[in-house]
Structure 1
Amino acid sequence: MKKFTYENITHAKELNIYLEQGNRVLGALGYTDHSGKHTAKVAMTAGKLLKKLGYDDHTVELARIAGYMHDLGNSINRASHAQTGALMAFQFLRSWGAPLEDIAIIISAIGQHDESNGTAVDPVSAALILADKSDVRRSRVRNTVPETFDKHDRVNYAALSSTLHVDVQKRIITLEVELDEGICFLMDYFEIFLQRLLMYKRAAEVLGLRFKMKANGSKIS
């Protein structure tokens, strides 16, 4: 790779082969879509968040790269995919000649992004977590038979929109979710995503923000 940039890694054939395999694995297991659309959205959301908060361009770039690479581990197994993905990313980044300091930040963010055993430890990991976990939307559901939806499918299918809003002056980040309550109730959302919401709160704190949430126009926190 001539130059280590977000734009260049998105065109790295060898990286995209593993990302595509990870998406196929999750599809076979019945999980939501984790295709290039998801990775690109996470990358851009993470970058925009740090940019809006005034972080330098280099930190923004690292967040984008971590966002694009974060689901590599799914090509091996869903279990512990954050840690295996971090190790895979390490190999790619070293082969591309990335600076060691940058590698350390990126693999740490990837290794910490899963709610089962991770948490935000710095701005890049915090931005990745907020971007990844806020990507809840109907188009990610692969099951085409609503009658056979499990609770995760139902919540994702009911999500008409899920967006992050940052008030830089008040230092508040708000997750705003619109759900079709004819498909699932708000309590269903909280049952599935309570651990994620705690992860949001910690990530917001690392960025010096307070976390708030709105669901169908009503303040939840």
Structure 2
Amino acid sequence: MEPCRMVSFQEVWKSEEVNAYIKNGNENLGVIGFTEHGFAHAKRSADTARDILQCLGYDERTCELAAIAGYMHDIGNVVNRVDHAQSGALMAFQILNRMKMDPAELALVVAAIGNHDEGTAAAVNPIAAALILSDKSDVRRSRVRDKGTVDADIHDRVNYAVVHSSIDIDTANRTAALNIKIDTEICPVMEYFEIFLTRMVLCRKAAQYLGLLFELIINDTRLL
């Protein structure tokens, strides 16, 4: 058996195989009318997941594993949107196993990817919790592919109405605050809750796993 090694985020980020799956998965979702799930979303999810754990004092290797999971979490869309978390986790296992990632680390990354989607998600480890928060906080105008769908599609309308979003960790008060600025002329705040309430409940559970209180702040008003 060949020895394991520490697979770096840079290796995953530059992997032609991983990037082919992200690209084609995003194209597949475009055909069926989903928002952007390409390189911008992958990199933002990776960076945010890493930042969350760094803020909480996790060791650098755990933070890097969170970035790896964040970058790879949507590769299963190349297979199908349905159950993409599970198919993506199996794909990630094959890729990272070939890269000789340590099985103990691989188990954490695969669990995080397999537990990030609302229907089956759970904060089963710190990497999974950070991935849930980073993935679900990426709501932004630039994820809408076609402005012509904004009036007819509530998901596109909500995303298009968001002019700023960030997940802010306050270690002193032990809070994770999702701060969102919404143009209410495009979308009323109620529509955000209409489609994202399940995600916010999931974020609350993920924050709780990390020892944090989840807060939702929209247009400077705390709603959760």
Equivalent residue runs for 1:35-184 within 5 Å: 35-146=38-149, 148-184=151-187
State how far apart, in whole Å, the 2-side matches of 1:156 and 1:173 are: 21
Number of residue equivalences: 221
TM-score (norm 1): 0.97
CA distance in 1, matches of 2:132, 2:17: 25
Partner amino acid, structure 1, of 2:148: V
Match of 1:210 in 2: 213
Q: Percent of pairs identical after alignment?
A: 46
Partner of residue 190 from structure 1, selected from 170, 190, 193 = 193
Is contact 2:157-2:187 (8 Å) kept? yes
**What letter is aligned with 1:10?**
W
TM-score (norm 2): 0.96
Give how far 1:213 is off.
1.1
Deviation sequence 1:99-118 (CA, Å, 0-9, x none): 00011000000000001111
Q: For 1:136, what is the secondary structure of its paired residue?
A: coil
* CA shift for structure 1 position 147: 5.7
- More moved, 114-123 vs 187-196: 114-123
Q: 1 CA distance for matches of 2:150 and 2:127?
A: 39
In terms of mean alpha carbon deviation, does 143-152 or 162-171 score higher? 143-152
User: Unmatched 5+ residue regions in structure 1?
Assistant: none
SS at match of 1:162: strand
Alpha-carbon separation, structure 1, partners of 2:138 and 2:150: 23
Once the two structures are superposed, the pairs formed by residues 6-25 of structure 1 within 5 Å of their partners are: 6-25=9-28
Q: Matched residues in 2 for 1:148 and 1:87: separation?
A: 37
Equivalents in 2 of 1:24, 1:125: separation in Å? 25
Secondary structure of the corresponding residue to residue 164 of structure 2: strand
Is the contact between residue 48 and residue 60 of structure 1 (CA under 8 Å) also seen in structure 2? yes
